[in-house]
Structure 1
């Protein structure tokens, strides 16, 4: 079973289109999006349209929910740079879609008569705004996995991809937990400007105690970064957002 996970598109249409093209090559069995379709660029409605056209199951990100507080623009916006401008571009039907997205998705797999639980969230299971950074203490991450019964915990939000494996001792037997940050399609922050998404392969012949039962691969996809950056600079968004795209910070 091959599952593609992507997150934090942030209205970057050129990046998302490039990832969709790559998905056609990879041919995963399922595709899920971990939220933040909007903000920071000028194509929120086009991105949402493609998500729906391709039938990609999606959960809400913190920026997606922010549209409830910022209404679509009517007429001219202020000529001053405005970080809220990105939310004002979101159409009414697109707002309705974002505000009805689920917060979490849970998948269960049966491996050799054992259940493997995969939990998809945006920030963390506890809060949509929590950053699960790679350097967090192992005990904290383990408690999170146990509390929410996650063998594979997948999330975005920080825009910094990583795969971390931790072990727990349950009734005298070892259990493996995989922590996967998907990185960002449209606004990477790890110094690599290419779009990022994840392929998770689950070996159905293995068991939950086998570390290699879950394989995680990060894919980086070239796209027209300059097109996305110039779109920011030609809009009412802060020019700093364009610099973020070019330098991936």
Structure 2
């Protein structure tokens, strides 16, 4: 499977063009939130993403509300993946949007318990906006600023792939925790082959 993942587009036309150029090579497209600037131009961005002839999974970041993103995503035939699942080709995508600033996230912890109920035969891809604490992608001025709850759930569930953004300083940085690949794909996106 080829996944085109991106994050923190922030309504950039330049980066949206880059996504369009890479989309033909992907089987599925994943947005890890912050596609707008506090919902400015959100409808335009999601309408453009809706024109891609691929499944597009989307979560909200800290620049969009859950309710607004869900409404506009549904209007554009996009799959809103907050606290939800999507299956394709033996993979299950589990999404959790919003946030990015909390050290602990009880709501995410509860979602982690829900993920555990999913059949283990599928390969798991976890999508969130903010990073887990302690990875190469949560460093700002040598301090780890990620979420402990995300770290703990990832270490427990061991998904095959974790996609997230939020920290602009670490776009296109990869990390590996045992068998789990962690990627901040940046606003111009990365094509990931599994």
Same-fold call, TM > 0.5?
Answer: yes
Q: Which residue of structure 1 aligns with residue 34 of structure 2?
A: 36
What is the CA distance between 1:16 and its match in structure 2?
0.4
Structure of larger gyration radius: 1
Q: Deviations over 1:97-153 (max 9, x none)?
A: 26994325556747xx96431111111489xxxx9515649xx67634134552321
- 2:189 equivalent among 166, 184, 197: 197
What is the CA distance between 1:13 and its match in structure 2?
2.2
Q: Which residue of structure 2 aligns with residue 73 of structure 1?
A: none
Q: Deviations over 1:148-206 (max 9, x none)?
A: 55232111111222110122xxxxxxxx11111112x2xxxxxxxxxx3112111xxxx
1:28-177 equivalent positions in 2, closer than 5 A: 28-39=26-37, 43-54=41-52, 56-65=56-65, 96-97=71-72, 101-104=80-83, 106=85, 109=90, 115-124=122-131, 133-134=138-139, 136=144, 143-159=152-168, 160-161=170-171, 162-167=173-178, 176-177=179-180
Check the 8 A contact 1:105/1:119 in 2, yes or no: no
What is the CA distance between 1:61 and its match in structure 2?
1.2
SS at match of 2:72: helix
Check the 8 A contact 1:117/1:151 in 2, yes or no: yes
What is the CA distance between 1:50 and its match in structure 2?
0.6
Check the 8 A contact 1:118/1:151 in 2, yes or no: yes
Q: Deviations over 1:54-111 (max 9, x none)?
A: 252211111111896xxxxxxxxxxxxxxxxxxxxxxxxx78326994325556747x
C-alpha spacing 1:48/1:164, structure 2 compared with 1 (3 Å) = same
Q: Which residue of structure 2 aligns with residue 4 of structure 1?
A: 4
SS at match of 1:145: helix
C-alpha spacing 1:107/1:12, structure 2 compared with 1 (3 Å) = same
CA RMSD of aligned residues (A): 3.7
TM-score for both structures, normalised by structure 1: 0.48
SS at match of 2:176: strand
SS at match of 1:63: coil
Q: Which residue of structure 2 aligns with residue 210 of structure 1?
A: none
Q: Which runs of 5+ in 1 are unaligned?
A: 69-93, 168-175, 186-195, 203-249
Check the 8 A contact 1:107/1:118 in 2, yes or no: no
Q: Distance in 2 between matches of 1:105 and 1:5?
A: 17
